[in-house]
Structure 1
Amino acid sequence: MQDDSIKDKALANRVSRLIVDAFNNLSVKSGKPGVRSNGVKEWTVLAGIAMIEIDETANYKVSPICFATGVKALPDKVRQYSQGSMVHDMHAEILTLRLFNWYLLKEMSLLIENDQYSSQIIEKCEDEAKFSLRENIELALYISEPPCGDASMTYIADEREPWQETKPEKRRKVDNEGTVLRGRANFDQLGKVRTKPGRADSLISLSKSCSDKLCMKQLIGINNCFTSYFMKDPIFIDYLVLPQSKACERDLTRCFYDRFQSKDHSVKYMKHIRCDDDGFEFQKPETCLSKVVPSQLSLLRVIPNGNTQVLNNGVKNGSFIKGKPPKPTGQSFICNEQFYLIAKTIANLGSFHYSSWKLQNHQRESLKEHGRSVLKYWPRTSIDDFQV
């Protein structure tokens, strides 16, 4: 799977440099890790998506589209009241995928509103009311750390202190199918679906690891239920860009390729390419004994239009209400309800319950079920529903 050619290394370095520079050059009052009042430094993970435009001579231009930071996930119980107004998974790479989908919806809306508008990434299909990715475009996903879960087990085992779970039978049981394999527990169990978060003493989230979610995206594409409704074909990540010093090819191959072989459906495997030291300032500490803590905040940025936001507890920073959904003004622009508000400017979606409407995309749902069967035990999160 790994290709250490000069071309791939140059591309990886170009992508990582653009994403890190976009983060470094963004001047914000809050959102970036800092130093707490007790002198303890914060760290986070940075992820971003870049667009690669390839011309007829095989030369390419790389443009960063979006980036996000974050390492948090909300407990599953929050879904009982969030009503589509909270972002549950705030790991950087998952936030980045949400940002990319938001950007797609905004571009679709602009194409509908203005016949003269030309999008750099998508275009309207001539024969139907759909959109497609422009020709000769590829996408790269950069992450400053290997994705949590199976793709990072060697890195975590070598560099961090594992949980001591000597009695696996005491792991949290969530249904009749099995038990949850969480975070950093049980290093000896490889090639398995894991859930966030990484702390043994945290409330259970049931949100699958970034490794598992990215693995599934190789089958269904990175479109969410809204953008997939409007796209003629799924969009896939072509390149996964990780730091050379942190990525273990054995883990990447096992996680994204070996355990996800499908005889019934085609899978668009990501190509793993490595970048040199990317210069990201707020790296995850090398050992768990380091006097640093994870940042509570996530910084979101859509680069082409400059949309920027800081998240805390799944809502706009400063808008969290314990045990309740935020006020409309406190919603993140990438929560599900805000996605719907943009989508309805593109087409009349009618009135529906979100949880039932997204199931109407039978092809996408069928692919998801197939992916879950290939990856084996896949604990379901509680329903986060709202009516429009």
Structure 2
Amino acid sequence: MGSLERHCPIQGKDGQLTCVSLGTGMKCLPSSKIPLANGTVLHDWHAEILALRAFNRFLVDECLRLVSDPPCPSHFIRQRSPHEITPHEYQLFAIKDDVEIHMYCSEAPCGDASMELVMAAQEDPTPWTATPPSIPSSTTEAEKGLYLLRGRGHFSHLGAVRLKPSRPDAPPTLSKSCTDKLAMAQVTSALSSLTSLLFTPKNAYISSLVLPKSQYVPTATTRAFATTGRMSEASSVLAQTVGAQDSGYAFHPFSIQTTHLEFTHSRRNIPPTHKPLPSNLSAVYTPHFQETLIGGVLQGRKQFDPRGASLICRKSMWSAVAGIAALAGMPVLVEALKGVSYRDVKRASILEVRRDAKNEVKKRVLKGWMDNEGDGEFGFDGDGRV
């Protein structure tokens, strides 16, 4: 297995930590392959992103247990009472008030939060002064000098949105770094678009990010995530986004905690005589299921075979959320999830506030963010699994 491990434990009122999602992985889908994904191939299987996607699937599976006949109670989520539901905050479910979300990363997330560590690993850590020769996200952004930086290229250019992968010889992608995606989660919560149809974002924000002491650089994490860093304008941007506060969206910066414990298979635990090698295998775990993936699909299946769809892929999640909306008798959501294509669902009016909040942060805070488009035209044809 690769040397990356991430998990999203949830902490209940008794202070006990429970691991509800875990992921390992270090690769992503090249941009040229995105149009072939058809909702069944994951775009990004870096460990942090797998853990977050698995966390969303865990929440959906908990919902399914609540609305089943007979219902099965959950330690972590609840159904909201009718008086709590408003036109802006319409979701039927919520994470319980006495539950906190904590995320452990065995390595500093790729992107801006790990740049000092990348610099320290260079034979010559002298900062580069040349203008980054990277792809501008648009003509306007190019005129402003804002560029999309690929991986670890021009590693001394700090505070910027970066793309995966880090290897310069790998096929290019438009997947944003894990640092950038975690920074965005401080605004949109740990919920995906589909899961946010079921859950209010309140109580769904990550409380703390836990890093090994060896991977913690205070200046880097402050710059990448904190109100005194590049996210300084996030609160004011959200305050100006119509409906954001009424819908439960706000800027919730997580704390950074450290531990002296290292992941058993960390590169720092590898004997000096051994050379660490990247793995194309990924593991996904929740209390409800576990999977082994290669190339963003189930191990043993060809990459673009619909039968290789993971439970955390777009099509499977669409199917699961639509099934819960029907079982729970939520006609508004049933209608929103009937889009001809996945793109239609993402553009549904019911998601407008979340979409506006995210777009404003892309434009005014995480400047230079380019959407990874091309896998939104697939329809709901029953291939997803509940």
Could you state the TM-score of these two structures normalised by the residue count of structure 1?
Answer: 0.81
Q: Secondary structure at the match of 1:192?
A: coil
The equivalent residue for 2:383 is none
The equivalent residue for 1:260 is 231
The equivalent residue for 1:383 is 374
Q: Which amino acid aligns with 1:155?
A: L
Please state if 1:45 is matched with 2:4.
yes
Q: Cα gap change, 1:224/1:362 in structure 2, threshold over 3 Å: closer, same or farther?
A: same
Q: Cα gap change, 1:290/1:379 in structure 2, threshold over 3 Å: closer, same or farther?
A: farther
The equivalent residue for 1:10 is none
State which of 133, 139, 148 in structure 2 corresponds to 1:180.
148
1:167 is displaced (CA, Å) by 6.2
Distance 1:292 1:276 in 2: 21
Distance 2:130 2:274 in 1: 28
Distance 1:67 1:298 in 2: 10
Is the Cα–Cα contact under 8 Å of residues 65 and 71 in structure 2 kept in the other structure? no
Is the Cα–Cα contact under 8 Å of residues 165 and 185 in structure 1 kept in the other structure? no
Q: Cα gap change, 1:289/1:220 in structure 2, threshold over 3 Å: closer, same or farther?
A: farther
Q: Which amino acid aligns with 1:191?
A: G
Q: Cα gap change, 1:292/1:341 in structure 2, threshold over 3 Å: closer, same or farther?
A: same
State which of 13, 20, 28 in structure 2 corresponds to 1:65.
20
Tell which deviates more after alignment, 162-171 or 106-115.
162-171
Alignment of 1:129-140 (within 5 A): 130-140=92-102
Q: Secondary structure at the match of 1:238?
A: strand
Q: Which amino acid aligns with 1:283?
A: R
Per-residue deviation, residues 227-266 of structure 1 (Å, max 9, x unmatched)? 1011123411001000012210110001001100222324
1:378 is displaced (CA, Å) by 0.8
Q: Which amino acid aligns with 2:353?
A: Q
Is the Cα–Cα contact under 8 Å of residues 186 and 205 in structure 2 kept in the other structure? yes
Q: Secondary structure at the match of 1:72?
A: strand
Is the Cα–Cα contact under 8 Å of residues 339 and 345 in structure 2 kept in the other structure? no
Alignment of 1:1-388 (within 5 A): 33=1, 43-55=2-14, 60-114=15-69, 116-127=71-82, 128=85, 130-160=92-122, 168=131, 170-173=133-136, 175-176=138-139, 177-178=141-142, 179-234=147-202, 235-257=204-226, 258-261=229-232, 262=234, 263-265=236-238, 266-283=250-267, 291-302=275-286, 304-305=287-288, 307-321=289-303, 325-326=304-305, 328-347=306-325, 348=334, 349-360=337-348, 361-373=351-363, 374-385=365-376, 386-388=378-380
Tell which deviates more after alignment, 162-171 or 288-297.
162-171
Is the Cα–Cα contact under 8 Å of residues 183 and 195 in structure 1 kept in the other structure? yes
Distance 1:160 1:330 in 2: 39
Q: Cα gap change, 1:211/1:285 in structure 2, threshold over 3 Å: closer, same or farther?
A: farther
Q: Which amino acid aligns with 2:355?
A: E
1:281 is displaced (CA, Å) by 1.9
Q: Cα gap change, 1:246/1:368 in structure 2, threshold over 3 Å: closer, same or farther?
A: same
Q: How many residues align?
A: 337
Q: Cα gap change, 1:231/1:288 in structure 2, threshold over 3 Å: closer, same or farther?
A: farther
The equivalent residue for 2:384 is none
Q: Which amino acid aligns with 1:259?
A: R
Q: Secondary structure at the match of 1:375?
A: coil
Q: Which amino acid aligns with 1:130?
A: L
Distance 1:284 1:76 in 2: 32
Gaps of 5+ in 2: 86-90, 239-249, 326-333, 381-386
Distance 2:274 2:361 in 1: 38
Is the Cα–Cα contact under 8 Å of residues 139 and 236 in structure 1 kept in the other structure? yes
Distance 2:220 2:75 in 1: 35
Distance 2:277 2:93 in 1: 43
Q: Secondary structure at the match of 2:162?
A: coil
Q: Secondary structure at the match of 2:159?
A: coil
Q: Which amino acid aligns with 2:296?
A: G
Q: Which amino acid aligns with 2:188?
A: I
Per-residue deviation, residues 330-351 of structure 1 (Å, max 9, x unmatched)? 1111110000111121113324
1:185 is displaced (CA, Å) by 1.2
Q: Secondary structure at the match of 1:87?
A: coil
Distance 1:268 1:162 in 2: 37
Is the Cα–Cα contact under 8 Å of residues 137 and 369 in structure 2 kept in the other structure? no
